[in-house]
Structure 1
Amino acid sequence: MKIALFTDTFIPNINGIVTSILNSSKILAKKGHKLYIFTSEPKDKNFKKPNLGKNIFVFYYPITNIIKYPDFQLAVANPSNILSKIKMIQPDIIHIHTPSILGWEALIVAKMYKIPVVGTYHTLLPDFLKYLPMNVNKSDFAKQFTWGYTRNFYNRCDLVTTPSIAMKKELKKNGIKKVTFLSNGVDIEKFKKIKSKKNGNVILHVGRIGYEKNIDIILKAFHELFKTNKKVRLVIAGKGPALESLVSLSKQLGMSKNVEFLGAIDHDKLPRLYSSADVFVTASTVETEGLVILEAMASGLPIVGVNKLAIPYIVKNGRNGFLVKVGDYQKISESINKLLKNEKLRVNFGRESQKLVKDFSLGNIIKKLEKIYCSLI
């Protein structure tokens, strides 16, 4: 079948949406489907646009700076260009990944040509507001407006998917009608544990370095550990707007030699990075699924995370990790310390992680996605 995907974020950006789209597109393309990706052009004009294979085609459109937030992009396409391309392609289905200007253009053209639409809700927009540079970002009005916008957009889709049961409940509660749970999926084979020497002292965090990820809480937790264990190391992989302030904080806390900021890591190199760690930690409160957590689980790591949104649906407290209250860096520190001091517990939790993650196998998720597409055509 022919599938038109609309997303404001795509490579070279590194985030969960991009990973999800790339993973699913590559498998669908191998199965003979044709993927047409409509997205924003890279900010880096020197970026060499990749060849993703014979069945994946990418169309780039200019970006606008309506919302000034680092790494946040909104594509604005000439409507006639979208119309002509859709008319030429004649897709069987349109799949929208971001509820933006580009997304609205997709909805309009879908209605004109009577093409069924799937919308995926990746980001909990109301919770993300407080991290945007706006005066109204913490007001009730802003949240109400955002949910109103969300309803107006997604209720125009024939079906809405969201990557966790937690988000399905949240969307239903806020008036989104046709919602189904569909994980983004993880390539379990890719992240199978690679044998490597461990010393029981490496804590890992992977992901976008945004303020919404609360990585400062991880640094504070690490500082508590560092007071009694000078051999412990914290490795942080990713890039984003909060990086500079986090580097500064690690220096202020006097532990810059034990905290390593790796920057952006190529996705193909992540399996080895996960395998080098002993514990994976996250303090994020905005995870609609937690794709990096699933990758860490597939790599056989125990997880320390917060009891918020999608995380408790994949991290089972006392089985494959520990869950703590939001912002409680002391409990995060204590939980990590328990795991670092007890190799048997780490190994058992890691095995449970690999058992639990089987439900999120990418191959099975793609089969479900194909069924969804076929049911709407």
Structure 2
Amino acid sequence: MANQTKQLEELLRSEGISVEVVRHNRPYAPACLGRLPWVRALGRLIPYMWDLWKAGERASIFHVMANSGWSWHLFAAPAIVIARLRKVAVVVNYRGGEAEQFFRRSYFFVRPVLRLADALVVPSGFLHEVFGRRGVQAQVVPNIVDTDRFRTGPEAADSDLRGAHLVVARNLEAIYDNATAVRAFRLVKDHVPEARLTIAGTGPAAPALHRLVEELGLADAVVFAGQVENTRMPELYRSAAVAINPSLVDNMPISVLEALASGVPVVSTDVGGIPYLVEDGRTALLVPPGEPARMADAVLRLLRDSGLAERLAEAGQAAVLDYSWDRVRDRLFAVYEHAWTVARTRRGCTEPPIEGIGTERSAADDNRRIPRAPGHVAPPGSDDGGES
């Protein structure tokens, strides 16, 4: 979510729109608060809410990046309430892959706050259906992929340079089930001795995964790359023969889209929003979650059948163009226009609609009114999968 927020900020600025990002995790002041377990939560929450309140003086729209669980209650919900108190239009961009489970437990508390939003955006048909089952209308505006950076490089023309290099780019958390990918890799290596695996990500499951790699005798073939900067991810994908997504819960993982854009065939579990994102046998190979043997079989199919790998890669690259800014821009701006109109109507305001959003530009637009900042609120979570 952090990468999507940063990318959206840059793209909106490139359109001439003023953007202010309000973060929930700014450094503690004073720094000693971070060492006090009972105080540090308030040490961030109170400044965050104050920053939101001040941003309401300047913003025309709050674009709230929302997730499931405590992230919703502590960070998304306050942003929505403050936007309404400040009479600012609010767009909720809900991205939680665990939304169904979260709503079963907490929808009684989520619903009244969600109803305060002027527009609800989700990145996938999967979440659109989750909300639809509760009678809530959401607009699908997909995640954005930088197809200029994530693309096939010259080295991809020679498959020998990629060898049997497998890449997993998910944080090391239980819901992403990297352990199944490691076990699948053990089976792949039994058939392809030169195979190697890179795992890009950090998280609490790291010690257990390191132990598993040692137990399976894979220490010389597995690289834990840690948190890889997004600027370096295109190079990593272009070095891969196959990208693996082993998650148990998912919505619309940007890592899968970036792999497709890079011309890398993908093997993924078929959970959550994944079947809405790729088509089994056409743009990716899908397998059930938690089954290393099935995952290994799919990887081996791609390593052994270059024709299949090339067909999947080509189809995936064509499909991912729908997630480029050129394709997503107008859909997002239409949501902004709608939210702005709803908020104006609620206030009984006669102020004209936002100009320059969702409209064609011309030389006559030089003096158009640029809207004040859509206040971007980034709740916790830097990974894309569970949320997005």
TM tier, smaller:
0.7 to 0.9
Secondary structure at 1:34 match in 2: coil
Unaligned runs of 5+ in 1: 1-16, 48-60, 130-142
The corresponding residue for 1:362 is: 325
Asked whether the equivalents of residues 57 and 86 of structure 2 are also in contact (C-alpha less than 8 Å), the reply is no
Percentage identity across aligned positions? 22
The corresponding residue for 1:95 is: 63
Q: Which amino acid aligns with 1:36?
A: E
Q: Which amino acid aligns with 1:309?
A: G
Secondary structure at 1:77 match in 2: helix
Please show how residues 129-140 of structure 1 align to structure 2 within 5 Å: none
Cα RMSD (Å): 2.8
Please show how residues 62-73 of structure 1 align to structure 2 within 5 Å: none
d(CA) in 2 for partners of 1:171, 1:356: 25
The corresponding residue for 1:13 is: none
The corresponding residue for 1:121 is: 94
Q: Which amino acid aligns with 1:105?
A: P
d(CA) in 1 for partners of 2:154, 2:89: 46
Provide, for residues 70-123 of structure 1, a one-character-per-residue CA deviation record: whole Å limited to 9, x for no partner: xx999412588346513531x111111132323333222222232121111111
Unaligned runs of 5+ in 2: 67-71, 341-388
Between 1:315-324 and 1:333-342, the stretch displaced more is: 315-324
d(CA) in 1 for partners of 2:43, 2:296: 38
Are the structure 2 counterparts of residues 29 and 322 from structure 1 closer, same or farther at C-alpha, using a change threshold of 3 Å? same
Equivalenced residues, count:
328
> Which of 154, 172, 188 is the equivalent residue of 1:225?
188
> Which of 122, 131, 148 is the equivalent residue of 1:189?
148
Q: Which amino acid aligns with 1:97?
A: M
The corresponding residue for 2:205 is: 242
Q: Which amino acid aligns with 1:225?
A: V
d(CA) in 2 for partners of 1:303, 1:83: 40
Are the structure 2 counterparts of residues 336 and 201 from structure 1 closer, same or farther at C-alpha, using a change threshold of 3 Å? same
Asked whether the equivalents of residues 28 and 34 of structure 2 are also in contact (C-alpha less than 8 Å), the reply is no
d(CA) in 1 for partners of 2:195, 2:290: 21
Are the structure 2 counterparts of residues 352 and 32 from structure 1 closer, same or farther at C-alpha, using a change threshold of 3 Å? same
d(CA) in 1 for partners of 2:52, 2:283: 49
Please show how residues 71-220 of structure 1 align to structure 2 within 5 Å: 75-78=44-47, 81-82=50-51, 85-89=54-58, 91-98=59-66, 99-125=72-98, 144-173=104-133, 175=134, 177-196=136-155, 197-199=158-160, 200-220=163-183
d(CA) in 1 for partners of 2:28, 2:213: 29
Are the structure 2 counterparts of residues 80 and 332 from structure 1 closer, same or farther at C-alpha, using a change threshold of 3 Å? closer
Is residue 2:249 matched to residue 1:281?
no
What is the TM-score normalised by the length of structure 1? 0.80
d(CA) in 2 for partners of 1:77, 1:176: 34
The corresponding residue for 2:371 is: none
Q: Which amino acid aligns with 1:317?
A: D
Asked whether the equivalents of residues 164 and 310 of structure 1 are also in contact (C-alpha less than 8 Å), the reply is yes
Deviation of 1:32 after TM superposition, in Å, equals 1.4
The corresponding residue for 2:344 is: none
Larger RCO (CA under 8 A, 6+ residues apart): 2
Q: Which amino acid aligns with 1:121?
A: Y
The corresponding residue for 2:386 is: none
Asked whether the equivalents of residues 40 and 62 of structure 1 are also in contact (C-alpha less than 8 Å), the reply is no
d(CA) in 2 for partners of 1:88, 1:172: 34
The corresponding residue for 1:18 is: 2
Deviation of 1:227 after TM superposition, in Å, equals 1.8
d(CA) in 1 for partners of 2:221, 2:198: 8
